[in-house]
Structure 1
């Protein structure tokens, strides 16, 4: 049975991965929405493109028309993530699109209160907006963190220069992670499953920092240093001090907030997942990921996501 999938923000990293997977299925027709079609990879020549920005209502209406499911791959400021998505959802309702896959792929934000992990506030607002709809069903895919970004310097866990893993807490806290590609594989499967609605928990792997360090040694033959930076209470104190010191300096505390809420159990997705619903997709564990990326590529792995499509 043929299906038409609309992908909003088709030039983004995740959207490129998703599109390349869906294009392998001869029963799938793809419509893409973006501001600049010149940025769409040449390999996407079979994709029907509609040009427009996130607030161009006529263009959005044209884009969603004829779609069986629309996937939002927007990633940006709160206005884009809330108001931009609401326009897409309204257009889906108006044009009879039965399902809408909301952005973004992340931790279990349904357990958060507004303001706790503020970058995820838009997801809370959009879920509430979709729950109130009667013409379009919302789909929310939870994957944990993107494994590709875990080893980047910005996250503050892996120091490539000294080969050191730095952690807060006991080191036995669970990290749930899924690669961009694996998350896109699951999302493609969800798009093809007309009965898939609501929250879907699709996670590649779950490991502690000590287990990740053990996998690192097993894969690369190098024993990393593992360094505790303090307790979870210490982390909580530091992230709030940094935020109060200069609220506008987001990068001084934002990743500390992510770190805290991901390992203190608040946003844990598992341990029960929905992976078994899609046995055709193989979960990519933390060690699987390391086996597919050279040690020297780890810190900059995010930069190549979506480039080889």
Structure 2
């Protein structure tokens, strides 16, 4: 099986490549702007061929797609890249009869959202609809909840490593779903080599609320934590829209709040059925297993690290 990975040099593309190379009879065709960003062991692998080019270089994209059995998009960027860049890939897959296209989805179940609610997921809604118009290529959508590493990141703002404080909106009993980057890559690798895997597939590492997360932290690290409540879900909704209205260009001041709101309001939860049982060889980490891999002070930077 020849697997095309667009955006192979990114964190997720790198992890996915690593897991695919562990499988028999899989070769990889990677699309990237700078092959030097990949480690030498991947660049020099006889099972890997790299095509240099960007997402809008139709000649490079067509060369990349040619001969692939399945193409995976690992792009992460603005709406132009996530919609128009994927359109270029999808059109070439359709024309060249690539049987499956794994869209750049993963975090949260955006299929339960309306356009405009969680604006960073709007491109995924557009891409899913576009794939449904194609005759020769089937869409594959892997959903995993939130990436666990991101929940601890400074970007998300829930955890203060200096004071071991967990800050939250809501009542503190709202379930949050998470899967590690590496487990998400493992599940995606299984989906890729499973020729019958199409449509929406949902995989989950753990479901827990912020209070349970704090208790797990105390158990793993033997450190006391503080829980600090920002306000209600309704107050969060108003706050995030106020920030966006007052300064729409400062996207990182409010985008994490939009993600958090739609995580805890229940709308984007996976299920009621998940597909973990489809690949019983994968045993995803829960919060305790995840924390056991990191020193407490490393948690905020875990989203930047590559660790299997």
TM-score by length of 2: 0.97
Following superposition, the deviation at residue 26 of structure 1 comes to: 2.8
Question: Pairwise CA RMSD of aligned residues?
Answer: 1.1
The residue correspondences of 1:1-309 to structure 2 (distance < 5 A) are: 3-44=1-42, 45-46=44-45, 47-305=48-306
User: How many Å separate the matches in 1 of 2:229 and 2:37?
Assistant: 43
Q: Which runs of 5+ in 1 are unaligned?
A: none
Checking the alignment, whether the CA contact within 8 Å between 1:165 and 1:224 is kept in structure 2 is yes
- How far apart are the structure 1 equivalents of 2:153 and 2:244? 22
Partner SS, residue 7 of structure 1: strand
| Contact in 2 for aligned 1:75/1:104 (Cα 8 Å) | no
Q: CA deviation at 1:270?
A: 2.7
Aligned equivalents of 1:276 and 1:26: distance in 2? 22
Say how many residue pairs are matched: 305
**CA distance in 1 between partners of 2:133 and 2:96 (Å):** 17
C-alpha contact (below 8 Å) 1:232/1:264 kept by paired residues: yes
Per-residue displacement from partner, 1:119-139 (whole Å, max 9, x unpaired)? 111000000001111110000
**Structure 1 segments (4+ residues) deviating >2 Å:** none
How far residue 13 of structure 1 moved from its aligned partner, in angstroms, is 0.4
Deviates more, 1:286-295 or 1:6-15: 286-295
Do 1:147 and 1:178's aligned partners in 2 also have CA atoms closer than 8 Å?
yes
Whole-angstrom distance in 1 between the partners of 2:82 and 2:270: 22
Q: Quick one: distance in 1 between partners of 2:170 and 2:270?
A: 19
Q: CA deviation at 1:271?
A: 4.1
